[in-house]
Structure formats: structure tokens, C-alpha cells
Amino acid sequence: MTIFEKLQSVTETAQNEQDLPNYLAERIFRLIENQDRFNARNSEMEDLVDKVTNYDTYGQTGYLGMGINSVILEKALNRLETICD
């Protein structure tokens, strides 16, 4: 399984099970569609897979502040898109 196939799978799971917002999923799917631009960024893509896997709608709230929320995920997407523009 390629990193992009993993990203596709974890994004679909996060949408179905963790309420990943559609606007973030759409941005991730655009990365997958344009994977030729991101092939050289394997470590950043692996980091994105980890972030999406650990996505939690209510992450970074409450006593422990654990999980990845939409703000953290959006910042990661911004960095990736900026690097590859």
C-alpha cells in the first residue's frame, strides 16, 4: 500500500468515524489526486497520515488536550500545500 493509498483509507475512516470536516477531507483528496507534486515529501505525507489517523473532533480540548483537531490538521495541510506550490 502506498502512502497515498494509506492517506485515502485513513481519511475515509476519519470522515465516517471521527466526523472529519468535509472541507479538510476535500483538501486531502486534492493532495492525493495531485500526488506527483507530493511524491518527494514522503516524511511529510507520513506525518499527515498520522495526523489524520489521530484526528479527533474534540482533540486538544479538556484536561489532557490530546488528539489532533481541525486547526492542527489544517496547519499541516497549509504547510504541505505551501511547500509544493
pLDDT, tens digit, 9 for 90 and up, residues 27-66: 999 999 998 988 888 899 999 999 999 998 766 554 555 6
Q: Which three cell numbers stand for residue 25?
A: 477531507
pLDDT, tens digit, 9 for 90 and up, residues 31-41: 999 989 888 88
Q: Which residue has the cell 489521530?
A: 54
Taking the C-alpha atoms of residue 28 and residue 32, their distance in angstroms, rounded to an integer, is 6
Please indicate, yes or no, whether the overall pTM of this predicted structure exceeds 0.85.
Answer: yes
From 33, 74, 73, 79, select the one nearest 50 (Cα to Cα): 73
